[in-house]
Amino acid sequence: MERTLVMIRHAKSSWANPLQSDFERPLNERGQHDAPIMGKRLKDNGLKPDLIISSTAKRTRQTAKHIAEATGYDFKDIKWEEKLYHCIPSVFDELLYEINDAVKTVFIIAHNPGITEFVNNLSSAFNTGNMPTCCIAGTHFEAEGWSGFSMAKQNIFLFDYPKNEHDS
């Protein structure tokens, strides 16, 4: 069965309050603008999540809300995972292993540097120095269940970010 994983880096966050903890930093104006646009691009690409998993940091929660709204996903159904906050790539593998096999399309919203490292490990034919803020990277793979993700051949079919050139 074909499955789809979309990795999303949180949108641009605010550094207006230097005393604010990193975990509590909200999206800035650009982030508030970009997240709905990237959600619309996902929807325009025919990508509707069966499950959204997000870090619990404020900027990822806000990004997840915008992405959910733009793709028609119920915000109340987002799975919040504290361990996604600045995690290493193996944490993504652990989360994927636990997903119910009835789920076909998953969006994960998280942070650098772990998200860039994870995406770079998906395919030897793909490499990016950095996933910019609100960047989306999608992969298709064939597997009976999510437990087969790490062994499946990945096909990166989407790499997009707010400053990427678009005709629209």
54-64 pLDDT, tens per residue? 999 999 999 99
pLDDT higher for 91 or 167? 91
Q: What's the whole-number average pLDDT of the chain?
A: 95
Q: Residue 101 domain-assigned?
A: yes
pLDDT tens digit sequence for 70-111: 999 999 999 999 999 999 999 999 999 999 999 999 999 999
Q: Residue 141 domain-assigned?
A: no
Please give the pLDDT value at position 125: 87
138, two tokens = 């999608």
Please give the pLDDT value at position 62: 98
Q: Which amino acid is at 150?
A: S
Q: Residue 72 domain-assigned?
A: yes
CA separation (Å) from 51 to 6, 11, 29, 48, 73?
10, 19, 27, 9, 8
Please give the pLDDT value at position 155: 85
Domain count, the chain: 1
Predicted confidence band at 37 (pLDDT cuts at 50, 70, 90)? very high
Model pTM score: 0.96
Q: Residue 137 domain-assigned?
A: no
Q: Is 40 exposed, middle or buried (0-12, 13-18, 19+ CB in 10 A)?
A: middle
Predicted confidence band at 164 (pLDDT cuts at 50, 70, 90)? confident
Any idea which residue has 């800035």 for tokens? 28
167 pLDDT above the threshold of 90: no
Please give the pLDDT value at position 137: 97
Residue 125 CB contacts under 8 Å (≥ 6 apart), including other chains: 156
166 pLDDT above the threshold of 80: no
168 pLDDT above the threshold of 50: no
What is the rounded CA–CA span in Å between residue 14 and residue 162?
17
| 23-28: average pLDDT | 97
Q: 98 is in which domain, residue-wise?
A: 32-49+66-76+93-108+117-122+148-154
Q: Residue 40 domain-assigned?
A: yes
Q: Residue 98 domain-assigned?
A: yes
Q: Residue 85 domain-assigned?
A: no
Q: Residue 140 domain-assigned?
A: no
What is the rounded CA–CA span in Å between residue 162 and residue 52?
20
**Cβ 139 vs Cβ 156: under 8 Å:** yes
What is the rounded CA–CA span in Å between residue 25 and residue 12?
10
